[in-house]
Amino acid sequence: MLRTRTLRRQLIAWLSTPLVVLWSISIIVNYDIAKQFVNLAYDRALLEVALDIGRNIKRVNNQSYLDLPAAALQMLQSWESGRLSYRVTGANGEYISGEPSFPKPEEFPESEDTSADRVRYYDDVFLGRDMRVVAMHVPVEPGSGKGVVRIQVAERVTLRTKFATELLLRMVLPQALLIFLAMFAVWYGVGRGLAPLSQLQRQIEHRSHRDLSPLLESTVPREVQPLIHAMNGLLERLSASIAAQQRFIADAAHQLRTPIAGLKTQTELALRQTPATEAKAAFEQLHTAIERMARLVNQLLWLARAEPDAGRASATERINLTELAREATTDWVPQALARNIDLGFEGPPGGARIEGDPFLLREMLNNLLDNAIRYTQSGGHITVRVNTAEGQIILSVEDDGPGVPEAERERVFERFYRVLGTSAEGCGLGLAIVREIAQRHRAEAALTARGDGTGTIVRVVFSSAATAG
């Protein structure tokens, strides 16, 4: 799975990569500088050894020899245990002291003039090891023209490399610590800089899909404010469009209620005044259709009222849900008795109080009870319950009707959706209104079967936020 690109990761990468590149370049430059200083220091030390050897060269009976204490000679000649090697060659190329097999420098041919002192530094290989060599000429007798004595002193290159590496580490490790602290500062700074965006993200994530109020532009950085301004413009246009649709539904429902009520009255009057069987049957069908149309219009109007920003202020107050449910249940007893249905109520003795709109909550109960009575067969049972559990208040309507298939228990809350195969009349808006009102009260509406797998239970669970106050 590809990792999602984030602004934080990109900023850290773009700010940290130059630091790492500069640190890498610094390592190369520092190593070169360290090698130069180490070579300079070691070359000077080699020259000092060569000068010490030169000062101790004596000439007796036209023969040159090295006059050094035994301890000094032993130190110089112990190649395997020491770090230095040397060779002293006379004016005529004869061997005087040191390593006889040490290679001669090309810079000093045997026939070279003996008049001037010279010093040369070069790299060479001796006994399979890389060496750094200083070669110098020392006059046998200055001003006599008797030639020079050649002195070569060598040192292992590995010692210089090791020292240069140690010196580099002493410089690089503090730099690495600084780079790490700089990257941590970058990470922390980017996090602090993006904190307003994270806060905006949480604000949008926790916002209801029905909340189309504008986002605050003052809490985000100036670079993000044009984006927030554009989003607010979109939310404003979307809110205006939804409000226009809601006003259209409400206005249309209001305009249709009066003529439909007139048609219903006229058909009822015609039914009472028409003795003919065929005409009466036609009027009965017309009356049934008008009743369904009136119910549809009323439910459309209630759906428009239940939606947020529907032009009606929510009259929220502290109400006793138990009393409200008991009153609504009592109002529907005649309809239940007309269909030979046992309608009962159960609630806690002390009541259950919530913050809500009694006008909308009563309509929610009306839709639940109407839906249950329509789909419960004659002789069935319906029970309205209000109970509390873990700080929540649960309103439920249970019936022993045919039930709803599990695959369609969520879809019945959609607008105009009806379960196929049902003979009861309806327009598919009752449970949609229930969910709209529940969500407006920060509650969750769900449909399940009874414990034995039959019937239907519609539960509306009010959260602790809705019950507090």
pLDDT 10s digits, 404-431: 888 788 888 877 666 655 655 656 677 8
Residues 361, 384: contact at Cβ < 8 Å? no
Within its chain, how far is the Cα of 142 from the centroid? 83
Confidence of residue 113 (pLDDT cuts 50, 70, 90): very low
Element (H, E) at 165: helix 157-205
Instruction: Tell the CATH superfamily of the 317-467 domain.
Output: Histidine kinase-like ATPase, C-terminal domain (3.30.565.10)
Q: Sign of the CA dihedral 396, 397, 399, 402?
A: negative
Write phi, then psi, for 284 (nearest 5 degrees): -65, -40
110, pLDDT greater than 60: no
Q: What is the pTM of this model?
A: 0.46
CATH fit for domain 33-164, picks 3.30.450, 1.10.3470, 3.40.50, 3.40.630? 3.30.450
Q: How distant, in Å, are the alpha carbons of 37, 87, 103, 154, 359 from that of 49?
A: 19, 12, 18, 10, 107
Q: Side by side, which strands form the sheet with 381-389?
A: 342-346, 381-389, 392-399, 456-462, 443-448
Question: In which residue ranges of the chain is CATH 3.30.450 found?
Answer: 33-164
pLDDT tier for residue 383 given thresholds of 50, 70 and 90: very high
pLDDT per position as a tens digit, 303-321:
666 565 544 445 678 889 8
Position 128 pLDDT exceeds 70: yes
Where in the chain are all domains bearing CATH 3.30.565.10?
317-467
Architecture, CATH, for domain 225-306: Orthogonal Bundle (1.10)
pLDDT grade, residue 330 (50/70/90)?
very high
Neighbours of 326 (CB within 10 A): 17
State how far the alpha carbon of 453 is from the alpha carbons of 347, 401, 431, 456, in Å.
Answer: 24, 11, 21, 9
Start-end of CATH 1.10.287.130 domains in the chain: 225-306
Mean of pLDDT over the chain = 77
Length of the chain: 469
How confident is the model over 65-85, as pLDDT tens digits?
777 766 666 666 554 444 677
φ, ψ of residue 110 in degrees (nearest 5) = -65, -25
